[in-house]
Every structure is written in structure tokens, then in C-alpha cells.
């Protein structure tokens, strides 16, 4: 028997994007607990914009569990927020709106900035560092500074220990900007892991007195790149059958649902989707082969294989909620007949 520290994580009711919250429950188990051994728990929803003070109890329902290598007997427990009855999803529970589909695969590319004292890490106290160019996938103190890579590597190891399916990491175009990619099979897996990876990154940065800036254009209208969270997706039908006709019908549905998608693709996206810096402008929808200026990019492999494989929606931004993003993408896909 050992006393485990169960860190229950959930998303609060802040708009337009939720924040991560977490609190610890101590419980005794013979072995590392499995999902079905974790009880529902509760919290004060009046402190998280999820309830009124008079009846403030919200329920935490565990949905996935991860090893926490940073803490003795540590466990990370991702939760959905439920109503007091324990079965009705709370209105802020976007995960519950994702269509259940084991054949749906998502890969998210999370870009973000490290911030120190209100400026990107590595920026001088006033003015700007040398213009972007050498920073993307760069090496050397001049390009990546002295501490960023240490944090990035530590984050990667904690995530891999947790069982999170990272596919890669890279230094990004702006100084102080980085990316990691997470891939998951099943409609909710990559989104769960993205939220837990964000949690791990933010918690890790506490000890360095550094913040993670997820805003999509923290440097405003300058020549510094913004941050996205490209959503790569596929379904069993897209991977195994696909075809030009189906693809074109799918893209017509994406075009028609443009506003619904943009509404959940992250705040202030008009600052980032300008038609410049490898983006399409926010009020247009387009797709193209290997086209990083399109809303949706078809990889070469997709066209070569007869319009089969995965697609990249380049519009979601770094601050977007992967639950809401996966939800709307699957809803639009579902609206297109496959025969």
C-alpha cells in the first residue's frame, strides 16, 4: 500500500478559452491506480465561473490517468466537469460534445512562447533581438538562449514518462517560441494529452519564474510570427477510401461551416490569420496541395494516394481548446455522406 497524490485536473468556465485547474486528493492503493479505481470528486464552481455561490458544487469525473514522474507517488487525472447528479455534462464540458469515434485520429502542433518579465524569453529589455530567420530549428546560445532548451527537454521527458504520445519538438520561427506535437488515435485522446501536456509545461515553468504565453499574436502587428495549433486529422474513411469526390464534398462542408469553426479556433485569430506568415486570411476558406498559405493543406502523400490519408487544418491557434476544435471538425466531417 502507498499513499498516492492524485492531481485532479479540469477546465474552468473562463471565456473565450478555459484555464487549467488542479487540486490534490490523497488516496491509498496497492499499485498505481487505474481509471476505474479513481472516484469522482468535487470542487467549488463559484470560484471557477462554473456555478453560483448558493449551489456551488460541481463534480469531477476522471477520464484519463497519467504517471507523474515529478512527484513521489504522483498521478495526473484528467477530468470532465459534471453537474451535481454526476452524469449530466456541465455546460463548460466541451469534451462531452466530441463524437465518440475510435477511427478518428488527431495530431496537434502546439506553438507557444516562453515569457519572462512580460517579454519573450531572450528578448532584450527594450527593443528587439536580431530579426527572425536563424531561430527556427536553430542551435547555439545566440539563437536559443541558455535556459529554453533545458525547459523544453525537461517537459518532453515528463510527458514521455506520463505516457503522452509526443511525436516531436522544435524551436520555432520567433525568438523564445517553441513547438511540440502530440498524436492520438481515438477522437479524444490527443486532446486529453494536449491539455495534460500544457498543464505539465505551465507547472514546470513555475520553478524557472517563466510563463507560457499561448496568445496567437503576443507581439501584435509586427514581423514576428504568431503561434498556431495546426490540427491534423483523419478518419477511417479518409484513410481507407477517401477519393477526390468525397474530398471535394468535405471541403465544401468545411467552407460552409467556416464561421462555426473559426468561433472555436482560438481568440484574436484575426490578428494571426492575415494571409501573411504562412496563413490564409480569416474570412477566406481555401485548400491546397502542400500550400501553407491555405486554410487546409493536403500533404503530398494525400494526393499521391488518391485523396486518402490525413489533412491539416492550419487555422486553429495556440490558445484554442483542442476539445472544442476536435468536436467541430468531427461534426463537419459527420455531416458529409460517405457513399
Binding residues for Mn ion, per CB under 5 A?
A: 109, 179, 230
Instruction: Phi first, then psi: give them for residue 297, nearest 5 degrees.
Output: -105, 130
Question: Which of 225, 219, 220 is closest to 115 using CA atoms?
Answer: 219
By the rule CB under 6 A, 177 interacts with ligand ADP: no
Site string for ligand ADP, 106-125 (x = CB under 6 A): xx-x----------------
> Distance between CA 153 and CA 230 in Å, rounded?
22
Q: What three-state secondary structure class fits 179?
A: strand
Question: Which of 10, 11, 75 is closest to 38 using CA atoms?
Answer: 75
CB of 182 to ligand ADP, least distance (A): 7
> Distance between CA 84 and CA 94 in Å, rounded?
17
Question: Which of 269, 110, 298 is closest to 200 using CA atoms?
Answer: 110
- Three cell numbers at 290? 502542400
> Distance between CA 27 and CA 79 in Å, rounded?
17
Q: Which is nearer to ligand ADP, 6 or 250 (CB)?
A: 250
By the rule CB under 6 A, 234 interacts with ligand ADP: yes
Q: Which is nearer to ligand ADP, 91 or 290 (CB)?
A: 290
Question: Which of 100, 96, 104, 101 is closest to 311 using CA atoms?
Answer: 104
CB of 1 to Mn ion, least distance (A): 25
Each as own residue / partner, the long-range contacts of residues 299-305 (CB below 8 Å, 24 or more positions apart, any chain) are 302/242, 305/242
By the rule CB under 6 A, 45 interacts with ligand ADP: no
Distance of CA 332 to the CA centre of its chain: 19
Q: Which is nearer to ligand ADP, 4 or 183 (CB)?
A: 183
CB of 62 to Mn ion, least distance (A): 19
Which stretch, 20-28, 77-85, 90-98, 226-234, contacts ligand ADP (CB under 6 A)? 226-234
Query: Which position among 4, 43, 115, 233 is part of the footprint of ligand ADP (CB under 6 A)?
Result: 233
By the rule CB under 6 A, 145 interacts with ligand ADP: no
Identify what 234 binds: ligand ADP, Mn ion, none; CB under 5 to 8 Å per kind: ligand ADP
CB of 330 to ligand ADP, least distance (A): 12
* Interface with ligand ADP (CB under 6 A): 105-107, 109, 167-168, 181, 183, 230, 232-234, 310, 312
Amino acid at each position: 500500500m502507498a499513499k498516492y497524490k492524485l492531481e485532479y485536473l479540469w477546465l474552468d468556465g473562463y471565456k473565450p478559452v478555459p484555464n487549467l485547474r488542479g487540486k490534490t486528493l490523497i488516496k491509498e492503493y496497492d499499485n498505481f491506480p487505474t481509471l476505474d479505481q479513481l472516484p469522482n470528486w468535487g470542487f467549488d464552481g463559484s470560484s471557477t465561473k462554473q456555478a453560483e455561490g448558493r449551489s456551488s458544487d460541481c463534480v469531477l469525473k476522471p477520464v484519463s490517468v497519467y504517471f507523474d514522474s515529478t512527484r513521489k507517488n504522483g498521478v495526473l487525472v484528467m477530468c470532465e466537469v459534471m453537474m451535481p447528479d454526476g452524469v449530466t455534462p456541465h455546460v463548460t464540458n466541451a469534451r462531452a460534445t466530441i463524437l465518440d469515434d475510435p477511427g478518428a485520429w488527431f495530431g496537434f502542433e502546439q506553438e507557444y512562447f516562453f515569457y519572462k518579465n512580460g517579454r519573450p524569453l531572450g528578448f532584450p529589455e527594450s527593443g528587439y533581438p536580431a530579426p527572425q530567420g536563424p531561430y527556427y530549428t536553430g542551435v547555439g546560445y545566440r539563437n536559443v538562449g541558455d535556459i529554453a532548451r533545458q525547459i523544453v527537454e525537461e517537459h518532453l521527458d515528463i510527458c514521455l514518462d506520463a505516457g503522452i504520445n509526443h511525436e516531436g519538438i522544435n524551436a520555432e520561427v520567433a525568438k523564445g517560441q517553441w513547438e511540440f506535437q502530440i498524436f492520438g488515435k481515438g477522437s479524444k485522446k490527443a486532446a486529453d494529452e494536449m491539455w495534460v501536456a500544457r498543464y505539465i509545461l505551465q507547472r514546470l515553468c513555475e520553478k524557472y519564474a517563466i510563463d507560457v504565453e499561448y496568445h496567437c499574436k503576443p507581439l501584435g502587428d509586427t514581423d514576428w510570427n504568431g503561434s498556431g495549433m495546426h490540427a491534423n486529422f483523419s478518419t477511417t474513411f479518409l484513410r481507407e477510401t477517401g477519393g477526390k469526390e468525397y474530398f471535394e464534398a468535405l471541403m465544401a462542408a468545411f467552407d460552409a461551416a467556416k464561421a462555426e469553426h473559426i468561433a472555436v479556433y482560438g481568440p484574436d485569430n484575426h490578428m494571426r490569420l492575415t494571409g501573411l506568415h504562412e496563413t490564409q486570411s480569416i474570412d477566406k476558406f481555401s485548400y491546397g496541395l502542400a500550400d501553407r498559405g491555405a486554410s487546409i493543406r493536403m500533404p503530398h502523400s494525400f494526393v499521391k494516394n488518391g485523396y486518402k490519408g490525413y489533412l491539416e487544418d492550419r487555422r486553429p491557434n495556440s490558445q484554442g481548446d483542442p476539445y472544442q476544435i476536435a468536436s467541430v471538425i468531427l461534426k463537419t466531417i459527420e455531416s458529409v455522406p460517405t457513399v
